[in-house]
């Protein structure tokens, strides 16, 4: 069974999506700012939240740029990653009329510490002087606020899984496999270039869906392996890789578990990273 829940989460993500699309005027920025940098496997996303005196957050900047500087959560092109973050930072500062000092960034669970720290160094090299580092599942949880459930963050290169009971993270792990691998399936099946697979998947979801089912089931198997003993908990899907009509149903049917989906799921982790910022 699939469900769409969380009116507060939906509103925050919907607001962020409007800002990203340029469909909402931000106006003057007067509150404290929190900045999140989601380096991503294929795309880097920068989110700026304004926090008023009452602690209420509103997105004031959401921007993305193709990067390709990471592979499976590991920085493989430091210069390119730095240049991308620096460009997004400068554009945000010009748009908001304020210098951005601190930021948070994230890494996939369970990668080596030295690789995780590389994400911090990228942001520091791009001009942020105070950088907080958080794993991607905890960042997604900062948006979703799951009390009892499993947060499944499907990124470009890997799937991170965090088990929460009474709001406390009790298990955290990840497995290779994500949006990049789904794109490989589409490109191989249709004989098209890899860079054309993602646009095709979005423009022709009905045609792409049957091709993707085995890949979705592989992701489901990874989730099964990482949640043995926690089968009673619902799965909460984050990340843009599974923003395909019917993807949640595939996981729900295959695992015989409740799966919770969210509109604008690709923004869950970037917004959560910003919420973790100093």
**Is pLDDT at 247 greater than 60 in this prediction?**
yes
Can you tell me the mean pLDDT for 143-162?
93
Tell me the pTM: 0.92
- Mean pLDDT for the chain? 90
CB 33 within 8 A of CB 98: yes
Can you tell me the mean pLDDT for 146-156?
94
Alpha-carbon gap, residue 225 to 175, rounded angstroms: 9
CA 178 to chain centre: 12
Q: In terms of pLDDT, which residue wins out, 223 or 245?
A: 223
Q: Edge to edge, what strands does the sheet with 2-4 contain?
A: 2-4, 259-261, 235-238, 149-154, 158-165, 168-176
> Could you tell me which of 187, 214, 218 has the C-alpha nearest to residue 201?
187
Residue % of the chain over a pLDDT of 70: 97
Q: In terms of pLDDT, which residue wins out, 268 or 7?
A: 268
**Residue 206 CB contacts under 8 Å (≥ 6 apart), including other chains:** none
Q: Edge to edge, what strands does the sheet with 43-51 contain?
A: 57-66, 43-51, 32-38, 102-107, 130-135
Alpha-carbon gap, residue 122 to 37, rounded angstroms: 10
Question: What local confidence, expressed as pLDDT, does residue 100 receive?
Answer: 96
Alpha-carbon gap, residue 2 to 152, rounded angstroms: 14
Question: What local confidence, expressed as pLDDT, does residue 228 receive?
Answer: 96
Residue 72: pLDDT band (50, 70, 90) is: low
Can you tell me the mean pLDDT for 76-92?
93
């Amino acid at each position: 069974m699939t469900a769409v829940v969380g009116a507060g989460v939906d509103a925050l993500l919907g607001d962020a999506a409007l800002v990203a699309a340029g469909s909402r005027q931000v106006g003057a920025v007067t509150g404290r700012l929190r900045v999140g940098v989601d380096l991503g496997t294929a795309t880097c996303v920068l989110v700026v939240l304004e926090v008023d005196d009452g602690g209420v957050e509103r997105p004031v900047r959401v921007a993305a740029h193709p990067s390709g500087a990471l592979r499976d959560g590991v920085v493989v092109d430091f210069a390119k990653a730095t240049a991308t973050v620096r460009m997004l930072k400068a554009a945000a500062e010009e748009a908001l009329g304020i210098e951005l000092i601190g930021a948070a960034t994230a890494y996939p669970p369970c990668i080596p510490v030295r690789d995780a720290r590389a994400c911090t160094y990228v942001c520091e090299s791009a001009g942020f002087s105070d950088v907080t580092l958080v794993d991607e599942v905890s960042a997604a949880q900062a948006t979703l606020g799951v009390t009892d459930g499993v947060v499944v963050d499907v990124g470009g290169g890997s799937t991170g899984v965090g088990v929460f009971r009474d709001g406390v993270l009790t298990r955290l792990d990840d497995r290779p496999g994500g949006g990049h691998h789904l794109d490989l399936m589409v490109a191989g099946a249709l004989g098209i270039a890899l860079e054309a697979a993602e646009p095709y998947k979005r423009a022709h979801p009905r045609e792409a869906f049957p091709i993707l089912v085995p890949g979705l089931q592989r992701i489901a198997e990874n989730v099964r392996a990482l949640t043995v003993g926690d089968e009673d908990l619902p799965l909460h899907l984050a990340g843009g890789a599974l923003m395909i009509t019917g993807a949640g149903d595939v996981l729900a049917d295959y695992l015989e578990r409740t799966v919770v989906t969210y509109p604008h799921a690709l923004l869950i982790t970037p917004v959560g990273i910003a919420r973790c910022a100093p």
